[in-house]
Structure 1
Amino acid sequence: MGKEKKDKTAKKEDTPATPGGGEDDTNTVSYETRVLACNAIAHPLASKKLTKKVLKTVKKAAKTKNVRRGVKEVVKALRKGQKGVVVIAGDISPVDVITHVPIMCEEADVSYIYVPSKEELGNAGSTKRATSCILVVQKEEVDYSDLYTEVLDEVKDLNKKLITTV
């Protein structure tokens, strides 16, 4: 019986990995393809360049534990009055899970932005699972504060444009 287990594990190690499979699967899908999978309510949606900046900011904030992950934690933080930038995944299904988050952000005067992929958002937030939304908490004395303020300014501009067009 012990021999069989060794043979099984040896087989797993010997088999080559399938191309495009595993954790790197999200990297092979283009930005344009991910945008097509977004919900109709995903506005303002970050451009390709802004998406990279936002995810980089989330990644740096997650290292210093300045993020709130998931709908429940984000809503709780917004109710408590925490400020920052809310990043919402645009490809959430069912969409009812996150429809109240932008409304809460507007009431709390917190900027929010949609990114196309929940998987990328989860990876940037240092979690193994896909994440529907993340709040990057506003802190002054952090090493990524320049990047944070740059992202915050761009997101505020997008939110202002959205409000004036509606």
Structure 2
Amino acid sequence: MAKISKTKESSKVDKESKSESLYEQRLPYVTPFSTPLADKKLNKKLLKLIKKSSKAKDCKRGIKEVIKAVKHNSKGLVILAGDVFPYDVISHLPVFLEDHNIPYVFIPSKSDLGNACNTKRATSTLFIVPGSNKKGKSDEYKEDYEEVMKLVKKL
């Protein structure tokens, strides 16, 4: 039994090192204007928050949906992918979001963003709008959302 527990512990360490190495591998592909960029710890928290909010159906995915939600005065957090090519696709969003006083943060990979949303396709932008769904499941991730918002505002 001792051998099994050692292998489980080593597999946990391997998974953590793989996720860190994936983060490091994706950094060279990030666009030059991707600031503020989430560090490893914040990136992990953001992906967990996205998974919880997508289960509650409080996410707006894609550039068109994000812009539409911002124009309708929705409040929340916007997560942008840093490896979008061509750059012109999302280059206007940071200024647009700052004009509407909506916090935003970049993460290195659009595929990670898509996977966290439980979709098969990569996603370039995501807007978490707590309470947008009428079923009221936003209480499940409210603490995580507030913690992430504090970290994003520090950036």
TM-score range normalised by the length of the shorter chain = 0.7 to 0.9
Alignment of 1:1-40 (within 5 A): 30-40=22-32
* Shift of residue 142, structure 1, vs aligned partner: 1.7
Alignment partner of 1:125 is 2:122: no
* Shift of residue 27, structure 1, vs aligned partner: 6.2
Secondary structure of 1:142's aligned partner: helix
* Shift of residue 138, structure 1, vs aligned partner: 2.7
Q: Give the TM-score taking structure 2 as reference length.
A: 0.81
| Dislocated runs of 4+, deviation >6 Å | none
| Cα-Cα RMSD | 1.7
**Would the aligned equivalents of 2:59 and 2:128 in 1 still touch at CA under 8 Å?**
yes
Q: Give the TM-score taking structure 1 as reference length.
A: 0.76
Distance 1:97 1:73, change over 3 A: same
Alignment of 1:1-166 (within 5 A): 30-139=22-131, 141-158=138-155
Report the counterpart of residue 10 of structure 2 in structure 1.
none
Consecutive unaligned residues of structure 2, counting only runs of 5 or more, are 1-17
Consecutive unaligned residues of structure 1, counting only runs of 5 or more, are 1-25, 159-166
**Would the aligned equivalents of 2:51 and 2:116 in 1 still touch at CA under 8 Å?**
yes
Report the counterpart of residue 7 of structure 2 in structure 1.
none
Distance 1:147 1:28, change over 3 A: closer
CA distance in 1, matches of 2:69, 2:118: 19
CA distance in 2, matches of 1:89, 1:29: 18
Number of aligned residues = 133
CA distance in 2, matches of 1:104, 1:116: 20
Percent identity over paired residues: 44
* Shift of residue 103, structure 1, vs aligned partner: 1.1
**Would the aligned equivalents of 2:20 and 2:40 in 1 still touch at CA under 8 Å?**
no
Letter in 1 for 2:145: Y
Larger RCO (CA under 8 A, 6+ residues apart):
2
CA distance in 1, matches of 2:78, 2:106: 8
